[in-house]
Chain A
């Protein structure tokens, strides 16, 4: 049986979504089967109106170089997120939307969490077309049977 990984993306910050997306893409490049399950704030990553405006977690982030008091000032977080996206562009790292399309084209399977969709009041139509289905956690486990599981 081919190697498989199941990645659960539960957070929607720019710095929190990317690890899941990069892991998924890297796994496909290495010939590993990939399933990604977006739940809770991770739904933002696959939501049409949110995917291009993912935010950066500055407050409460021990690794943030910015003092917490400054990071909380309106606009500061936006500035930091813009700077990070700019930096990624210069390094030729694709944006989240393109990463998702690449994973999908590479055969990685993307799923949304049914319960989280209800909680956040979202419809399948609100999601990107690359999302294959809205499923329950149990369905996801069935799909990803025998896979190594990564939670981000």
Chain B
């Protein structure tokens, strides 16, 4: 026989022996583990059975159904947001359930339970309580908490993150989708701007007639006298005359001015005369 082949065969034989040994060991292990595994299974099913009898399963099913409802109700982008925030939700949960935090909450719950024995406190009592070291500490804690909540809410306002939706939808929506601001009431009269840019150097009485017609106003001689006086006054003073000034330069009474130009005489005259909107509020 070829000595090389012989050597290889014996090597294979060695390996087969080792494999058989290992198989034997696994068989032994399984034989040993069998009863333990059965025990474990029995224990687990026993636990599940007890939980079932105590109503845990029903709670679990309800929870799963609720979660399903929530998830099904979410739009894809909302679902993504929810999943991406899972880590922070879990971290929050871990922080909140730390024993010291839980103890504080538990103590607070005890106090609420015994609420009937706690005396009512008025403004004076509040002042007195302010001297108590524990109250001071609690107040400090509450203030710090409030500060954090305020800071977070401000950050949320600045960033286009998630904001609570309207009560009717009960959902979350993007801040950028906020409702448009309510429309302002229409202005009584489209007045010209106050600055000199509104001055019409090429103004003619014909232009005045056209502007007046667009305001449903037919110009009489009395109208024209006021308008011309307004232009003259602007040329003399550099300021568009307001109602009071108009009464002074034309001699027309306030009452008659309002009769001639029923809607906002100062602004109307300025607009027809090609002048800026009169400034001042007298």
Instruction: Give A residues with C-beta under 8 Å from B.
Output: 2-3, 22, 25-26, 28-32, 92-94, 101-102, 105-107
17 contacts between A and B (CB under 8 A): A2-B188, A3-B185, A22-B281, A25-B281, A25-B282, A29-B243, A29-B264, A30-B267, A31-B188, A31-B264, A32-B188, A94-B244, A101-B254, A105-B253, A105-B254, A105-B255, A107-B258
Q: How far is the CA of A32 from the CA of B191 in the complex (A)?
A: 14
Q: Is B193 an interface residue (CB 8 A)?
A: no
CB contacts under 8 Å to A, within B242-259, are 242-244, 253-255, 258
Contacts of A3 in B (CB 8 A): 185, 188
Q: Are A31 and B254 in contact (CB under 8 A)?
A: no
Q: Are B242 and A29 in contact (CB under 8 A)?
A: yes
Q: Is B189 an interface residue (CB 8 A)?
A: yes
Q: Are B243 and A31 in contact (CB under 8 A)?
A: no
Contacts of A29 in B (CB 8 A): 242-243, 264-267, 281
Contact with A along B42-82 (1 / 0, CB 8 A): 00000000000000000000000000000000000000000
Q: How far is the CA of A22 from the CA of B243 in the complex (A)?
A: 13
Closest beta carbon of chain B to A19's beta carbon, Å: 11
Closest beta carbon of chain B to A36's beta carbon, Å: 15
Q: How far is the CA of A106 from the CA of B259 in the complex (A)?
A: 9
Q: Tell me whether A93 and B243 are in contact in the complex, defined as CB-CB below 8 angstroms, given that A3-B188, A29-B264, A105-B255 are known contacts.
A: no
Contact partner of B264 among A22, A30, A105, CB < 8 A? A30
Contacts of B185 in A (CB 8 A): 3
Q: Is B263 an interface residue (CB 8 A)?
A: yes
Q: How many A-B residue pairs have CB under 8 A?
A: 44
Q: Tell me whether A102 and B264 are in contact in the complex, defined as CB-CB below 8 angstroms, given that A3-B188, A22-B281, A92-B282 are known contacts.
A: no
Closest beta carbon of chain A to B217's beta carbon, Å: 13
Q: How far is the CA of A130 from the CA of B281 in the complex (A)?
A: 21
CB contacts under 8 Å to A, within B261-282, are 263-267, 281-282
Q: How far is the CA of A102 from the CA of B253 in the complex (A)?
A: 9
Closest beta carbon of chain A to B61's beta carbon, Å: 58
Contact partner of A22 among B189, B258, B282, CB < 8 A? B282
Q: How far is the CA of A101 from the CA of B242 in the complex (A)?
A: 17
Q: Are A30 and B254 in contact (CB under 8 A)?
A: no
Q: How far is the CA of A32 from the CA of B189 in the complex (A)?
A: 10
Residue on A with the closest CB to B189?
A31
Q: How far is the CA of A127 from the CA of B282 in the complex (A)?
A: 23
Closest beta carbon of chain B to A53's beta carbon, Å: 21
Q: Tell me whether A102 and B188 are in contact in the complex, defined as CB-CB below 8 angstroms, given that A29-B243, A30-B267 are known contacts.
A: no
Contacts of B281 in A (CB 8 A): 22, 25-26, 29
| Contacts A25-B282, A29-B242, A30-B188 supplied; 10 other A-B pairs, CB < 8 Å | A3-B188, A92-B282, A93-B282, A101-B254, A102-B244, A105-B255, A105-B258, A106-B243, A106-B258, A107-B258
Q: Are A94 and B282 in contact (CB under 8 A)?
A: yes
Contacts of B266 in A (CB 8 A): 29
Q: How far is the CA of A30 from the CA of B186 in the complex (A)?
A: 12
Q: How far is the CA of A30 from the CA of B263 in the complex (A)?
A: 7
Contacts of A2 in B (CB 8 A): 188
Q: How far is the CA of A92 from the CA of B185 in the complex (A)?
A: 32
Closest beta carbon of chain B to A150's beta carbon, Å: 14
Closest 6 A-B residue pairs measured CB to CB? A31-B264, A31-B188, A105-B255, A105-B254, A26-B281, A31-B263
Contacts of A31 in B (CB 8 A): 188-189, 263-264, 267
Contacts of A28 in B (CB 8 A): 258
Residue on B with the closest CB to A23?
B281
Q: How far is the CA of A30 from the CA of B253 in the complex (A)?
A: 18
Closest beta carbon of chain B to A35's beta carbon, Å: 16
